[in-house]
Amino acid sequence: MSSMKDLLLIVLLHCLTSGRGIESNPIDRYGLDGESFHLDVEEHNNLTFKRFVWRMNSNIIMEYNLKTQDVDYYKNEEKLEFDKKTFSLLIKNLANTDSGLYKAETVNDDGVVIHVVTYKLRVQAPVSKPVITNTSDSEGECNSTLKCTVENGTEHSIAWLGNGINNTITHRRSSELCLDNITCKNWPLTCYAENKVSNSSETVEALQCERPSNSALQSNLWLILSVGIIGIITPIIIIIRIFWIKHRNKKKEEYLVKTTDASVGETNQSITTEYDVVRPERMNRPTDLPPEITTIYATVRKTSDKNIC
């Protein structure tokens, strides 16, 4: 019974010391081994406090005093860097030992602690390039297997991927794929390794499969077909275009009348015009028509001039 009371007391105390009591779930963060990592404080604009504290796994690792604008305490000055404007914490040269719960808190003038944010940081080593080997183990269940080994990497998964194949395993250094039931349509096979901070893959082609001869033929057919189509259609278009241009020029010629010499009327007046392009819609009617209907005759020499477009 008393242990129950103790537990309640502890929970109560915990609620008091962590301010609001309700702590949101820690936010997952993944850092790359050897690199630096920023833990941000999103609502840094609205914080009022006397001291700002960063904890790692409940231990204080940094304490900042707003009044003096000084960092009063660093657990490891070489590893940590506090930003006095954004209150973010930079963790340098990440190592496995830096994985853990990072909690930001403020302490106000009355000593009340308010929880700001909690991160669950995990440091991962990048995966190394998968190495594929084939093992022919006559004693095993499989006549022929491919083995994919990923030497380095933290909490990574290894997947064998192919057409219609997806064998994924996690948290192991190598993954085997039985080839007995793999047909040519499944190739090529890729071993893909990844974790939260990196990925890498290696692909093998099937040697005995003469890689998709069928589809190669198909693509060749397509090539021949498209070359054929282009070879036929292009000349046709060019020919049509030439005919069209010729036709258009011809039409133009009909409107071109060069009246360099014309005899008009009863008196055979001679009119010489330098040049005239006569089109029905552009013809000018004379404004001062003779009072009576007079028949006049005109000879117009029509010469086409192909140079005019």
Ligand X SMILES: *[C@@H]1O[C@H](CO)[C@@H](O)[C@H](O)[C@H]1NC(C)=O
- 79 or 147, CB closer to ligand X? 147
- 180 or 288, CB closer to ligand X? 180
Q: Residue 306 has what DSSP assignment?
A: T
In angstroms, rounded to a whole number, what is the distance separating the alpha carbons of residues 118 and 126?
A: 25
Nearest approach, Cβ of 123 to ligand X (angstroms)? 14
User: Are the C-beta atoms of 179 and 150 separated by less than 8 Å?
Assistant: no
The token pair that represents 285 in the structure block = 């009617």
- 88 or 199, CB closer to ligand X? 199
Nearest approach, Cβ of 202 to ligand X (angstroms)? 11
- 27 or 142, CB closer to ligand X? 142
Return residues touching ligand X (CB under 6 A): 43, 45-46, 128, 133-134, 141-143, 151-152, 159, 161, 166, 168, 178, 180-181, 194, 199, 207
Give the ranges where 154-284 is alpha helix by DSSP (H).
213-255
- 117 or 159, CB closer to ligand X? 159
Nearest approach, Cβ of 139 to ligand X (angstroms)? 11
Nearest approach, Cβ of 118 to ligand X (angstroms)? 18
Taking the chain, what is the end-to-end CA distance rounded to the nearest angstrom? 110
- 143 or 215, CB closer to ligand X? 143
β-pairing verdict for 113-124 and 27-32: parallel
Nearest approach, Cβ of 200 to ligand X (angstroms)? 8
User: Are the C-beta atoms of 280 and 259 separated by less than 8 Å?
Assistant: no
User: Are the C-beta atoms of 195 and 124 separated by less than 8 Å?
Assistant: yes
Nearest approach, Cβ of 138 to ligand X (angstroms)? 8
In angstroms, rounded to a whole number, what is the distance separating the alpha carbons of residues 51 and 82?
A: 13
Closest C-alpha to 137, from 179, 174, 184: 179
Closest C-alpha to 156, from 30, 303, 296: 30
